[in-house]
A and B are shown apart, each in its own frame.
Chain A
Amino acid sequence: MYKESYSIHPVLSLICSLLLFITGLLFVKEIWFCNYLITFLILLLIFRFEKTILKIIPFAIVFGAVMPALTLINGSLSEALYSFYRVLVLVMAGILSISIKPIHLVRALNQLHIPRWINLGLLIVIRFMQIFREEMKQIRQAIILRGIHFFQTPFLWGRAFLIPLTIRMLSISEGLAISLETRGFSTDSTGSSYETVCFQKRDSVFLCLFLTFLSLYTFMFIRGL
């Protein structure tokens, strides 16, 4: 059983995230756009996404400042405002998608008979980004240990960064491929699932409220209200 008390079904989260992103970009120039954002923000707070919201705030601040500033160079104030709104749309969609636990998404997609190589490919891409961050940190520290300073010898610094990074990435890719194959992973087998990711009552309530609000704003958009 899927027991994460404050999460939404991973497939539902993924679909809602996409819908929120697409409709958000469409509604960005409507005068009621702020109401649209606030409605879904409240919905997410009701469903206990506050920790994820806090996590994403630094990203919202940085990109919310940089993107409108860049737009202002060649555009008007209203275009900069729309640019800020687009960042907010990305943030709102991001709250839902980053709350998805990769393993739950893989298992849920598996239950929907999506081929395992697609699910696991997705999982490895997510995992690889995390590994990439960790590796960069390790390499930067190794550079310090070898006494290389960017400002004194930038070429050497670049070499000391890029060569180990490339080698590590190749080595990790090979390690992951071998690890998958020797642990019985195959593109043509269906396998089984340790946990069943179920659609729960709270998912139904979330879906109903989400669709109701989305339909309302879509209706307003179509009617030009």
Chain B
Amino acid sequence: MSIAIEAKNISLSYDMAEGKSDLERHWIFKDLNFQIKAGEFILLTGPSGCGKSSLMNIINGVIANLKDVYIRGDVYIQGQQMTGCSVQERTAFVGSVFQNAREQIIFDKVRDEIVFPMENIGETPQKMRDNLNTLLDMTGLLPDAQTASLSGGEKQKLMTACTLAMGQKVLLLDEPLANMDRRSAKQLLTLLKQLSENENYTIVVIEHRQELVLPHADKVFSCIQSPLPNVNMELKIYENKRDYQPYVYSHIKQKENEIADLKETIFFVKDIDYCIGERFLFKHFSWEIKKGERWVIVGDNGCGKTTMLRLLYGFEKPTSGHIVSQYTKIEKRKSIGYILQNPDYQLFMPRVKDELYLHSTSPEFVEELIRLFEFEDMLDRHPLSLSEGQKRKLGVACVIANEPSILFLDEPTVGLDSESIEQVFYSLTLLKKRTREDLTTISVSHDKRAIPYLGNKILNLNKIEV
């Protein structure tokens, strides 16, 4: 079996200061060596912010060409040395699917987005049409759908389809399942496995939803804490995936509220219709939410989970029907905490501690959250200098610090490692205690691991059944 990817002594540091010795410099990773054979399917895993995406971006050339970093060592793809090659030259060998699909979309229509990379590499119109049809079948996307109206998961599918359209034999995928429903995730992984087994594609998947990827993976590359004080992580390679032990949650089960039925209704969704263009997301839909209940909204990508949260909050209005709430608009804004998928929108203060104490009701509770989320060493840092995972945790902590009595959580586990997810669950338990068991939560999640911890009532929007 030939070698598809080879890394020789690669080191990465964001510390650009001149004249520092290796011992003085802080490294994300140092002198990594590994080989990935053609046709192998690799799961690359590790805690949030450890440098997994950076490793991927060294292979595809994004870091060396588009970012200011100190980088050393050589990468070979299919035997070709990549040092000094541009990103565009590397795309002949390696295809990449990145996080934040929304930021990468250029065109209005799905068809044009998928066709664009094929146009760039000069494919014939007939070949483009054939590939397009295959990829549309695979993803279930409609060619004339507007990209702006796609859900987060559908956008992720679209960007994966764009990469597959180029047909490189080495594929790097950074959290491709982050916003995907379970069925789509399984479909994509099955396709990737087929490509690796039948057509000798080399697949590297960075993913926190390990339970989905592990059955398909041949090997696991796990990023672990380096024993060296000035190095962030090192790579532990499990040649046999059975030797790898995924993180197991401890049992933070929330106490069920058995008297919820006797409590007052806080939202009553009364026979609503909601449509985007000519497509109905909800038709004659009714739902009652009582104080203290913990709901989880599940369903396929694009079925309207986030839209339902937005309807309840009042950011969207139903096409017909009513949503009755016991709260006025002002009371609603005071009582509801809303954790967004992307924390970048909610963080703006100069330091992490300013962000946490802004509008907080109890300094003791904030201190408890700081200890829980391990923010002690970063209180004076700018929130936007944190890693993606840390920003997400900070976003959750800021909302919880305000002690809302109703909490909306939109995909709270996306992009978080298992330990961080457990911290989020525990923060919900703390909040529940603070609100004397009256906390009502409505969560949206695709993450099967998280659903039992997020709620005890499920609204499945695929079947519109409660």
Contact = CB atoms under 8 A, between A and B. Distances in A.
Interface of A: 101-103, 123-124, 127, 130, 134, 138-139, 141-142, 144-147, 159-160, 163-164, 167-168, 171-172, 174-186, 189-195
A109 to B, nearest CB: 13
B344 A184 contact: no
Contacts of B148: 130, 134
Interface string B310-345: 000001000000000000000001100110100011
B62 A192 contact: no
A183 B116 contact: yes
Contact of A192 (B65, B123, B347): B123
B91 A175 contact: no
A172 B103 contact: yes
A167 B340 contact: no
A167 B87 contact: no
Interface in B81-95: 86-88, 91, 95
A97 B62 CA distance: 36
A139 B112 contact: no
Contact of A182 (B87, B338, B358): B87
Q: Which of B98, B105, B112, B123 has the most CB of A within 10 A?
A: B112
B285 interface: no
A145 B124 contact: no
Contacts of A181: 62, 65-66, 86-88, 91
Contact of A175 (B95, B104, B120, B129): B104
Nearest to B168: A184
Q: Which of B62, B86, B116 has the most CB of A within 10 A?
A: B116
B166 A164 contact: no
B359 A184 contact: no
Given A142-B340, A167-B384, A178 B125 contact: no
Interface in B338-358: 338, 340, 344-349, 358
8 contacts: A145-B338, A146-B359, A164-B346, A168-B345, A178-B62, A184-B117, A191-B120, A191-B122
Given A144-B333, A181-B66, A175 B112 contact: no
Given A183-B162, A192-B124, A193-B119, A171 B88 contact: no
B348 A179 contact: no
Given A101-B108, A124-B106, 6 more contacts: A142-B346, A147-B334, A182-B98, A183-B166, A191-B121, A193-B125
A10 to B, nearest CB: 14
Contact of B103 (A159, A175, A189): A175
Interface in B137-191: 148, 159, 162-163, 166
Given A145-B340, A191-B121, A182 B60 contact: yes
Contact of B106 (A123, A139, A141, A145): A123
A171 B119 contact: no
B232 interface: no
B91 A182 contact: yes
Interface in B190-232: none
Q: What are the 4 A-B residue pairs with the smallest beta carbon separation, nearest first?
A: A175-B103, A179-B104, A142-B345, A184-B120
Given A103-B107, A192-B122, A164 B66 contact: no
A147 B338 CA distance: 11
Nearest to A158: B348
Nearest to A120: B106
Given A146-B358, A182-B62, A194 B106 contact: no
B118 interface: yes
A144 B398 CA distance: 14
Nearest to A130: B148
A194 B345 contact: no
Q: Which of A134, A164, A171, A184 has the most CB of B within 10 A?
A: A184
B146 to A, nearest CB: 11
Nearest to A194: B115
A185 B120 contact: yes
B121 A179 contact: no
B402 interface: yes
Contacts of B359: 146-147
B346 A192 contact: no
A189 B338 contact: no
Contacts of B88: 181, 184-186
B429 interface: no
A176 B118 contact: no
Q: Which of A142, A144, A146, A175 has the most CB of B within 10 A?
A: A146
A173 B106 CA distance: 11
B345 A139 contact: yes
B62 A175 contact: no
A179 B155 CA distance: 13
Given A145-B338, A147-B359, A159-B348, A186 B106 contact: no
A102 B108 CA distance: 9
B323 to A, nearest CB: 17
A98 to B, nearest CB: 13
Contacts of B86: 181
Q: Which of B119, B384, B399 has the most CB of A within 10 A?
A: B119
A135 to B, nearest CB: 9
A69 B166 CA distance: 56
B96 interface: yes
A179 B60 CA distance: 12
B125 A192 contact: yes
Nearest to B398: A146
B58 interface: no
A192 B98 CA distance: 25
B131 to A, nearest CB: 11
B122 A160 contact: no
Contacts of A101: 108
B100 interface: yes
